[in-house]
């Protein structure tokens, strides 16, 4: 087990009155392989303290500095949609690649990029929550049908439906703006007792709410929603719950009261193989 090789270190982070960050690493790390674990939802306020911590680890003589970011932000702006826009996924990848020796993450939002290697120049280890999500469904829902809201959800929902040997249905999504999307679904065939919507990221909730509404007009089975990365911007969580679904469940890549699927065994295993 990786935990045999790991010891927990302490960092003191302090905000000065003007909001600049003070960093002090309290644990001895000379010649150590240092791993920083960061929840990178709301990344703008976290990234400077993270980079400063990595630089301080190097100053103190760390042999290597790796990053575990179960949720990898800035993956969705993966092209120039309109002239003048920045491709922030690349800028973010450059920043991380310059400051870390390797990265472990879970189900990053890969759409136009097929792999993280296209933008990250350090070794990246991409884990998937699909086994843990399948396990949760197997234990909690009898005869599920799996639904994905867009093309990007296809790898996740197809692998989960294969593991569970149950049908899946993949919607098509057209995004109008940050909050509004239009969805269309293929004919729903086959028998199932629960409709399980699975998406990698829930941010405003607009995407899953459209799919919930569509399904509520089409089928009578109870609906369960599962998110790998529960960003839940503003009041997204309450908006989704108030749609009248059976349950909203998430992985703990971002701490939230909906967390029911623990990613730590997955991450610990990957550290074991890495070490
Ligand atoms: C994008 O394609 C992702 O897979 C999610 O569907 C999307 O980020 C969800 O965003 P929102 O909750 O704001 O609709």
Encode pLDDT of 217-268 as tens digits.
999 999 999 999 999 999 999 999 999 999 999 999 999 999 999 999 999 9
Encode pLDDT of 120-134 as tens digits.
999 999 999 999 999
Give the separation between CA 234 and CA 121, rounded to whole angstroms. 34
Query: Which atom of ligand 1 is nearest to 109's Cα?
Result: 4
- Per the CB < 8 A criterion, the answer to whether 163 and 135 are in contact is no
Q: In the prediction, which pLDDT does 3 show?
A: 60
For residue 232, report the distance from its CA to the centre of ligand 1, in Å. 10
For residue 75, report the distance from its CA to the centre of ligand 1, in Å. 11
Residues of the chain with pLDDT under 50: 1
For residue 207, report the distance from its CA to the centre of ligand 1, in Å. 6
Pocket of ligand 1 (CB under 6 A): 109, 149-150, 152-153, 199-207
- The rounded Cα 124 to chain-centroid distance in angstroms is 15
Is the pTM value of this prediction over 0.85?
yes
- Per the CB < 8 A criterion, the answer to whether 187 and 199 are in contact is no
DSSP annotation string for 4-52: GT-----EEEEE-TTS-EEEEE-S--TT-EEEEE---SSTHHHHHHHHH
For residue 10, report the distance from its CA to the centre of ligand 1, in Å. 34
Q: What would the two tokens of residue 181 be?
A: 């999307």
Give the separation between CA 36 and CA 196, rounded to whole angstroms. 34
């Amino acid at each position: 087990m990786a935990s045999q090789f790991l010891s927990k270190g302490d960092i003191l982070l302090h905000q000065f009155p003007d909001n600049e960050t003070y960093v002090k690493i309290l644990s001895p790390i000379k010649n150590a392989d240092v791993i920083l674990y960061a929840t990178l939802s709301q990344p703008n306020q976290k990234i400077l303290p993270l980079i400063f911590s990595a630089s301080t680890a190097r100053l103190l003589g760390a042999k290597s500095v790796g990053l575990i970011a179960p949720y990898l932000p800035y993956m969705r702006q993966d092209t120039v949609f309109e002239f003048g826009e920045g491709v922030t996924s690349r800028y973010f990848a450059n920043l991380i690649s310059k400051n870390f020796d390797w990265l472990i993450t879970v189900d990053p939002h890969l759409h136009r990029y097929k792999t993280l290697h296209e933008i990250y120049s350090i070794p990246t280890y991409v884990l998937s929550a699909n086994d843990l999500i399948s396990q949760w469904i197997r234990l909690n829902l009898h005869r599920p049908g799996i639904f994905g809201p867009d093309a990007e959800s296809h790898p996740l929902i197809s692998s989960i439906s294969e593991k569970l040997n149950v049908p899946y249905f993949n919607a098509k999504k057209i995004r109008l703006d940050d909050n509004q999307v239009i969805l269309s679904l293929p004919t729903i065939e086959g028998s199932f007792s629960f409709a399980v919507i699975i998406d990698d990221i829930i941010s405003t909730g607009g995407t899953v709410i459209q799919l919930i509404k569509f399904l509520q007009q089409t089928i009578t089975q109870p609906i369960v929603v599962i998110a790998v990365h529960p960003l839940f911007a503003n009041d997204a969580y309450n908006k989704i719950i108030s749609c009248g679904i059976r349950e909203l469940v998430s992985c703990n890549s971002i701490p939230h009261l909906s967390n029911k699927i623990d990613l730590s065994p997955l991450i610990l295993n990957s550290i074991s193989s890495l070490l």
